[in-house]
Amino acid sequence: MTSADPSDLIAVAGRYADPAGWPVPLRFARAERWYARLAVGPDHEVWALSWLPGQGTDLHDHGGSAGAFLVVAGTLTEETVSGGRLRPHRLVAGSGRRFGARHVHVVSNRGDQPAVSVHVYRPALRRMTRYRLAAGQLLIADVAEAGVAW
């Protein structure tokens, strides 16, 4: 699921799909998801994340950044809010997801094998808002700032 268009964020993620070419070694951490910034450009940044079974994110947005992620190994489940409920979508290795600046989701590894993904954000992440879903409504739980929370 990649494109030859250099502005396509899935295509950018695809250029970083091989952990052997990363500037940092791939790791898996039991305490929490491991992540590392792989690259930063004038209009985007690239992150690698590893996911052990059971690890995932909170319900969150990307602070106005558009983005994409590509599953490099394993399987991830993305849940988005629709009709006041979370709706799951399973993504296997080689598949990815593009999203706009207002996208809110949860990503997790519901499988029994580790997973690895590459995420690209345009512009670079400056903040992420975490939400909770109550009675079908998104409510802000907190706002995390770059350089403080990650």
Residue 106 has pLDDT above 60, yes or no: yes
Q: What is the mean pLDDT of the segment spanning 56-66?
A: 97
Over residues 14-41, the mean pLDDT reads: 96
Tell me the CATH number of domain 9-125, given options 2.40.50.140, 1.10.10.10, 2.60.120.10, 1.10.420.10: 2.60.120.10
Q: What is the pLDDT of residue 6?
A: 56
Mean pLDDT of 2-6: 50
Model confidence at 2: pLDDT above 90? no
Half-sphere exposure of 118 (CA within 13 A, CB side): 26
Separation CA 1–CA 27 (nearest Å) = 25
Whether residue 116 contacts residue 26, with contact meaning beta carbons closer than 8 Å, is answered with yes
| pLDDT band for position 3 (cuts 50, 70, 90) | very low
Give percent of the chain with pLDDT exceeding 90.
Answer: 90
Give, in degrees to the nearest 5, the angle at Cα 114 between 111 and 117: 100
Whole-angstrom distance, CA of residue 93 vs CA of residue 102: 25
pLDDT at 150: 85
User: Can you tell me whether residue 86 is helix, strand or coil?
Assistant: strand
Alpha helices in the chain (DSSP H): 9-14
Q: So where are the chain's domains? A: 9-125
Q: How many residues does the chain have?
A: 150
**pLDDT mean over 64-77:** 98
